[in-house]
Structure 1
Amino acid sequence: AVFQTVFGMIMTLLIAMEFRHSIIRVMLRRDHIVQVKTVVLIALLAIARKFIILDPNSDPYRIGALAVALLALGGVYWLMRQRDDPVEAEGFRE
């Protein structure tokens, strides 16, 4: 229980730091568009934190729903990364 509490607090701090970093990055740019990839990453961190602090006696439906959400967000992040990687690779070649 103590491990779950401490690790949950650490994960909350990491999520808050990533959220702060993304807001600062948006404010420094002129277009003020939030990167979807960053939002998906923050959501993945939040679901991972939920798994860590999850009560071992919770119902299987909640665990299944969290797993489906984690897989869906992971798939979205992977697709977005696949889309962005060829563009970044071409930028390095030039």
Structure 2
Amino acid sequence: MNHYERFEHVVAFILSVIIALVIALALLQLVTRVVPLLVTGSIDPLDHEVFQGLFGMIMTLLIALEFKHSIIRVAMRRESIVQVKTVVLIALLALSRKFIVLDSKVTEAQTIAALALATLVLGIVYWMLRERDDRLSMERRTSTGAEAGGE
């Protein structure tokens, strides 16, 4: 590895550790706040607003885990840089979380439409990236198979 690749590796590792700490603290807070309320019956998970809040917190942790996973791939040198497809996927997860915690009674229709359009566009971009990756993978397999068969 050259100097910059080592630097990139160190930065990815440090970011991974920081995100892991944030995830651990967020999980600890979620458990210490929610479990006692559930055990004592003070909170009704079937209440729509409570469910939105709980699920929003859980989705936030899942988004952070996916983000950490993408950084770990860089740190482990499986990929040289964070992949655009992963960033788009994380953005889709964040928008999904936003829709879950969105209060449709106070949110304007324009905001909902803008979020829906952003989700649609990101979905199309993700689909296009996946199609490109699938096509490249198929071409690699075909060229590898042709080379192996020709020997």
Structures share fold, TM-score greater than 0.5: yes
Shift of 1:86: 1.8
Instruction: Flag the structure with larger Rg.
Output: 2
Partner of 2:131: 82
Is there any run of 5+ residues in structure 2 with no aligned partner, and where?
A: 1-48, 146-151
Alpha-carbon distance in 1 for matches of 2:129, 2:79: 20
- Alpha carbons of structure 1 residues 14 and 79: separation in structure 2 relative to 1, 3 Å: same
Question: Deviations 1:26-84 (Å, cap 9, x if unpaired)?
Answer: 11117631100000000000000000000121100110000010001001000001111
Partner of 1:10: 58
Larger RCO: Structure 1 or Structure 2 (Cα < 8 Å, ≥ 6 residues apart)? 1
Identity of matched residues, %: 63
Alpha-carbon distance in 1 for matches of 2:121, 2:55: 24
The aligned amino acid for 2:126 is: Y
Partner of 1:29: 77
Shift of 1:88: 2.1
The aligned amino acid for 2:109 is: P
Is there any run of 5+ residues in structure 1 with no aligned partner, and where?
A: none
Partner of 1:45: 93
TM-score in terms of structure 2 length: 0.58
Aligned pairs, number: 94
- Alpha carbons of structure 1 residues 44 and 24: separation in structure 2 relative to 1, 3 Å: same
- Alpha carbons of structure 1 residues 83 and 30: separation in structure 2 relative to 1, 3 Å: closer
Alpha-carbon distance in 1 for matches of 2:55, 2:114: 22
